[in-house]
């Protein structure tokens, strides 16, 4: 363990040194260039003079369409040290951003009349999103909760502030979304493995087989929750395919179905259901859940029957049943709730679900 820790520390030190050397070299790129030709603020000040003095000529030259391409190399230069997977690393704090924002929305220009108001969203779409895409493809670990939370928070902020994901998406946005989908799909196919052991090995909670399967199960649940963070950013039908058809029904249900203890079954199902985006159940027909959750809700119903068969009507059974009904309520499995309450006369538990 100590050797592994030393190796990781050595790799971290090497990475820091390489990063420092790269950033130092980046600072020297424009060493022999006058600031008028590489400083974003000064470049935009020249265009601002043109816009003020010769508005018709400026408009006829379609400068608003040209600026994102003109500034892209200079902005990418400032983004060399930017890491979108670090929560405290904000691209809006870089000098280029304040210069472009002031140019697009500065004093003296009404929003409705400003011909350059789309310049900043275009830069975000064509330059920032492309930078983030590189991290998605080469660096981002979908099983990392911290990285996934930071990345999706950034994307949602970009969506809220610049609306780049709305309507007919550009090729840059489509490429980014596809990169995210492919990375998530790869994580499900290659990074998740939940083994299936005979029950005799799983009855002993201290056995290595149980310990390994349990560890792999919770890793898969973690990925399920990380995937849910992309709700609203990637198409819903693809997210359901990855989360429900592949991850839940292919891997997680195997463990749940082989769980012999109803208490542990309900605990695991509660964690799983807690990962599903609430938006999925807004327009679900009354009485039935999502088609992909039929096996999930059916097993919960069977677990309820097993509870009463083994423990009758004890207080512990009712507490577990309350949790089970809570899960069914969250996934809008109203038919299952009705069956349980009518069969075991526990309508009073419905009060706790309100």
Segment 104-147, tens digit of pLDDT: 876 554 443 567 888 999 999 999 999 999 999 999 999 999 99
Average pLDDT over residues 323-336: 90
Q: Between 212 and 27, name the one with better pLDDT.
A: 212
Which residues fall within 8 angstroms of residue 228, CB to CB, at 6 or more apart? 239, 243, 275, 276, 277
Average pLDDT over residues 315-334: 87
SS3 helix, strand, coil % of the chain, rounded to 5?
Answer: 70, 0, 25
* Alpha carbon distance 308, 144 (integer Å): 39
Residue 44 predicted with pLDDT over 70: yes
Q: Whole-number mean pLDDT of the chain?
A: 87
Question: What is the residue-wise DSSP string for 282-300?
Answer: SSPPTT---GGGHHHHHHH
Which residues fall within 8 angstroms of residue 336, CB to CB, at 6 or more apart? 297, 298, 300, 301, 328
Give the per-residue pLDDT at 137. 97
* Alpha carbon distance 119, 128 (integer Å): 13
Give the per-residue pLDDT at 112. 39
The answer to whether residues 290 and 277 touch, using CB atoms and an 8 Å cutoff, is: no
Residue 228 predicted with pLDDT over 60: yes
DSSP letter (8 states) at residue 241: I
Q: Burial code of 311-325, b = ≥16 C-beta within 10 A, e = fewer?
A: beeeeebbebbbebb
Give the per-residue pLDDT at 138. 95
Confidence category of residue 334, pLDDT binned at 50, 70, 90: confident
Q: Which residues pair with 231 in a beta bridge?
A: 234
Average pLDDT over residues 53-67: 89
The answer to whether residues 263 and 320 touch, using CB atoms and an 8 Å cutoff, is: yes
* Alpha carbon distance 316, 312 (integer Å): 10
Which residues fall within 8 angstroms of residue 136, CB to CB, at 6 or more apart? 151, 176, 179, 180, 183
Question: What is the residue-wise DSSP string for 141-174?
Answer: -TT-HHHHHHHHHHHHHHHHHH-TTSSS--HHHH
Let me know the angle formed at the C-alpha of 87 by 82 and 238, rounded to the nearest 5 degrees: 95
Which residues fall within 8 angstroms of residue 142, CB to CB, at 6 or more apart? 148, 183, 184, 187, 191, 223, 226, 227
Residue 8 predicted with pLDDT over 90: no
* Alpha carbon distance 22, 61 (integer Å): 37
Q: How far is CA 262 from CA 131, 201, 237, 269, 302, in A?
A: 47, 18, 32, 10, 10
Segment 247-273, tens digit of pLDDT: 999 999 989 998 888 888 999 999 999
Which residues fall within 8 angstroms of residue 185, CB to CB, at 6 or more apart? 242, 246
Segment 185-208, tens digit of pLDDT: 999 999 999 888 888 887 787 888
Give the per-residue pLDDT at 111. 44
Segment 143-173, tens digit of pLDDT: 999 999 999 999 999 999 998 888 788 899 9
Phi-psi region of 108 (alpha: psi -120 to 50; beta: other; left: phi over 0): left
Give whichever of 118-122, 174-178, 277-281, 349-353 has the largest mean pLDDT.
Answer: 174-178
* Domain residue limits, the chain: 29-155
Containing 123, the helix (H) or strand (E) segment is helix 119-123
């Amino acid at each position: 363990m100590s050797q592994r820790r030393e190796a990781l520390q050595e790799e971290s030190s090497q990475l820091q040194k390489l990063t420092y050397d790269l950033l130092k070299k980046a600072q020297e790129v424009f060493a022999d260039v006058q600031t008028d030709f590489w400083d974003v603020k000064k470049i935009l000040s020249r265009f601002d003079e043109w816009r003020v003095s010769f508005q018709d000529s400026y408009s006829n030259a379609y400068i608003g369409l040209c600026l994102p391409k003109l500034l892209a190399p200079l902005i990418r230069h400032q983004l060399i040290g930017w890491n979108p997977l670090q929560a405290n690393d904000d691209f809006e704090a870089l000098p280029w951003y304040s210069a472009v924002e002031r140019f697009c929305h500065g004093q003296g220009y009404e929003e409705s009349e400003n011909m350059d108001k789309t310049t900043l969203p275009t830069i975000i779409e064509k330059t920032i999103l492309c930078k983030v895409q590189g991290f998605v493809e080469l660096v981002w670990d979908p099983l990392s909760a911290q990285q996934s939370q930071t990345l999706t928070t950034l994307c949602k902020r970009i969506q809220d502030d610049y609306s780049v994901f709305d309507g007919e998406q550009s090729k840059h946005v489509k490429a980014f979304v596809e990169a995210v989908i492919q990375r998530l799909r790869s994580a499900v196919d290659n990074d998740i493995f939940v083994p299936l052991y005979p029950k005799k090995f799983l009855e002993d909670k201290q056995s290595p087989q149980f310990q390994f399967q349990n560890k792999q199960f919770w890793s898969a649940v973690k990925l399920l929750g990380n995937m849910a963070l992309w709700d609203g950013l990637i198409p819903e039908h693809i997210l359901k395919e990855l989360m429900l058809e592949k991850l839940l029904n292919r891997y997680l249900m195997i463990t749940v179905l082989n769980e012999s203890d109803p208490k542990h079954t309900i605990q695991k199902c509660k964690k799983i259901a807690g990962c599903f985006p609430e938006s999925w159940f807004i327009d679900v027909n009354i009485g039935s859940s999502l088609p992909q959750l039929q096996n999930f809700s059916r097993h919960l119903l069977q677990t309820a029957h097993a509870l009463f068969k083994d423990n009758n009507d004890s207080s512990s059974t009712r507490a577990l049943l309350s949790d089970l009904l809570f899960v069914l309520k969250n996934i809008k499995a109203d038919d299952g709730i009705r069956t349980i309450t009518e069969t075991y006369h526990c309508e009073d538990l419905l009060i706790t679900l309100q």
